[in-house]
Amino acid sequence: AISSVGMILRQTVGDKGILCRSGGDEFIILAYIKSQQEIMDIIDTIKKEAALFNELEDKPYKIHFSIGYSTYETKNETIDDFLKKMDDSMYEDKRRRIEEKAIADRRQNP
């Protein structure tokens, strides 16, 4: 599964940035981004590619992403601050996905 995740992320990032595996099942994409829209486009593409993979590949697992992002302000923060903002953002996305799934499950099984 982890190699499939890496493949999806590499295809999405292409030459727009650098993909790093930070441990376990976590990856970091470092990219020079000019706008918030560019960030949202990358996130959207990652989610679409995961959905396509899940639909087309005959694997015993499904791929889902919790995605966090941050911008790095070199004058105002340390690398640790930057990484913490990304991590916090990712966990917020994960919480949101879990809550949305719980709501959908309650609607299906009242």
Q: Which fold has domain 2-108?
A: Alpha-Beta Plaits (3.30.70)
pLDDT > 90? residue 48: yes
pLDDT number for residue 4? 92
Tell me the mean pLDDT in the region 84-103: 90
Exposed e or buried b per residue across 63-100, where buried means at least 16 C-beta atoms within 10 angstroms of its C-beta: bebbbbbbeeeeeeeeeeebeebbeeebeebeeeeeee
* Joined tokens for residue 24: 């376990």
pLDDT > 80? residue 30: yes
